[in-house]
């Protein structure tokens, strides 16, 4: 048991180190994927606008100066506004953009479950009894036999 916990902690530490390294030593490619061009409103990596070229130069300079990813993003937001970030902030109205997909998935899952439950209940009611109703002598009840004949006649047409 202790060995498993230790192994899980080692795996967690191994995965956490690259994430923090990416924060401390970002690359241009990482930031291009997380920042939008303010002119054409596409990811910086896809933009060829002059302002995008200036942003790339700025990012390269800040990386060379030793800035972290968050510091670079903060400077870009200060100059161009929050619209420069590819992902909306996880606060205020931007929180809606993060929560709406989760709420949509949960809501649609609940609707599917409710519909499946209703279909299941409806099919359980429509299932005929396993044993035909008899009048005690082993013969089928006359009303049931008459109904069966009517149903079969309907399919013979």
Does residue 66 form part of some domain? yes
Inform me whether the pLDDT recorded for 134 exceeds 80. Answer: no
Which domain does 55 fall in, by range? 27-90
Does residue 138 form part of some domain? no
Inform me whether the pLDDT recorded for 129 exceeds 70. Answer: no
37 or 25, which is more confident: 37
What CATH number has the domain bearing residue 41?
Answer: 1.10.8.640
pLDDT value, residue 103? 92
Helix extents (H) in 25-93: 28-34, 50-65, 69-80
Does residue 55 form part of some domain? yes
Does residue 100 form part of some domain? no
Does residue 102 form part of some domain? no
Does residue 61 form part of some domain? yes
Question: Over the stretch 74-105, which tens digit does the pLDDT of each residue have?
Answer: 999 998 888 888 887 777 777 787 888 999 99
Rounded Cα–Cα distance for residues 151 and 101 (Å): 50
| Chain-centroid distance, C-alpha 99 | 10
Rounded Cα–Cα distance for residues 38 and 78 (Å): 13
Query: Which stretch of DSSP H or E encloses residue 146?
Result: helix 142-156
Does residue 137 form part of some domain? no
> Per the structure, how many domains does the chain have?
1
Crossing angle for the helix pair 69-80 and 2-24, to the nearest 10 degrees? 40
Does residue 111 form part of some domain? no
């Amino acid at each position: 048991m202790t060995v498993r916990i230790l192994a899980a902690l080692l795996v967690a530490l191994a995965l956490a180190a690259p994430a923090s390294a990416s924060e401390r030593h970002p690359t241009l490619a990482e930031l291009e994927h997380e920042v939008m061009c303010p002119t054409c409103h596409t990811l910086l990596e896809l933009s060829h606008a002059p302002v995008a070229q200036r942003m790339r130069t700025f990012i390269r300079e800040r990386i060379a100066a030793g800035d972290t990813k968050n510091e670079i993003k903060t400077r870009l937001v200060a100059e161009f506004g929050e619209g420069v970030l590819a992902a909306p902030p996880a606060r205020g109205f931007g929180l809606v953009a993060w929560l709406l997909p989760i709420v949509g998935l949960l809501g649609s899952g609940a609707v599917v479950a409710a519909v499946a439950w209703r279909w299941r209940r409806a099919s359980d009611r429509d299932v005929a009894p396993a044993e035909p109703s008899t009048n005690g002598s082993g013969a089928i009840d006359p009303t049931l036999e008459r109904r069966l004949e009517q149903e079969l006649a309907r399919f013979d047409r």
